[in-house]
Amino acid sequence: MTDHLEVPNQYGFKPVVSQRVSEAIFQQIREKILRGEFKPNDRLPSERTLMEIFQRSRPTIREALRMLERSGLIMTIPGSGGAVIKEITSQNLEQSLEGMVLQRSISPLDLYEFRTINETANIEWAVQRRTAEDIEAMREIIRQAEKCKNDWNQFFACDVNFHMAIVKAGKNQMSVIIHTVIAQLISDIIARGFLNLSSKAREQNRRDVIFNHKALLRAIIEQDADKAKAIISSHLAEFKQFMKDENVTINTQK
């Protein structure tokens, strides 16, 4: 096979010369799916056809297809003559973002920086749009956190659930989808570092988190956006320092 030769094809794909060939193929097909050039229930070309189009081996094509399937964009059916395009749902988007993090296309520091912007917006929306049901949901999560004692896994779950309750109170569905992935990933990072702390340090951290959550809830109830944003900013700054102190971050170019 020659890299420079472009084989005409009805799909508009181009041969790939990138060093990370399977990823480049994945990106080309993904872009056409997201643009609607391939619609739900359409079939992709067969593996053999894709081999001819991209001028690459069967293992490379299969790896690109696996990446698409892990992203929730296609469904492969053995012997069917081509993968089927799935309808894009919130779950597809969650799977795609999570896959990027697991492949380290996104670092924990990237997540932190985005979280500072996104959670500030979530707090402001929650202050404006919260209902009595939202407030009670946050109160109940705090009560559960106070009962956790040394059950750290349950405590981490309460932390995730409290921030998710704030997002849901903001009534922005796009933010709910994204936060579903980000919150759990960051919680996993915290958990790995948290377990390296002494018992005394863990207990102090638990008290600090609960104190901050109660302060956030008061500000949301009082609809004091400035106070709420100041609290979340301080809360996230502590999280960033925690990541540095415990060396939790994955190596990054930043």
* CB-based contact 220:167 (threshold 8 Å): no
Contact between residue 43 and residue 33 where contact means Cβ atoms under 8 Å apart: no
Listed residue (215, 236, 5, 213) closest to 120, CA to CA: 236
- What is the Cα Rg of the chain in Å? 23
pLDDT at 245: 54
- In the predicted structure, residue 158 carries a pLDDT above the cut 70: yes
Around Cβ 176, how many Cβ atoms within 10 Å? 15
| In contact, 93 and 177? CB cutoff 8 Å | yes
- The pLDDT of residue 58 is 92
Question: 76 by DSSP, 3-state: which?
Answer: coil
Q: Model-level pTM?
A: 0.62
Reported as a single tens digit per residue, the pLDDT across 38-91 is 888 899 999 999 999 999 999 999 999 998 988 788 988 776 667 999 886 656
> Which residue, among 123, 111, 237, 243, has the nearest Cα to 182 in the 3D structure?
111
What does the alpha-carbon distance between residue 229 and residue 208 come to, in Å, rounded to a whole number? 17
| pLDDT reading at 251 higher than 50 | no
> For residues 254 and 123, what is the distance between their CA atoms, to the nearest angstrom?
28
Return d(Cα 87, Cα 84) in angstroms, integer.
Answer: 10
Contact between 53 and 5 (Cβ < 8 Å): no
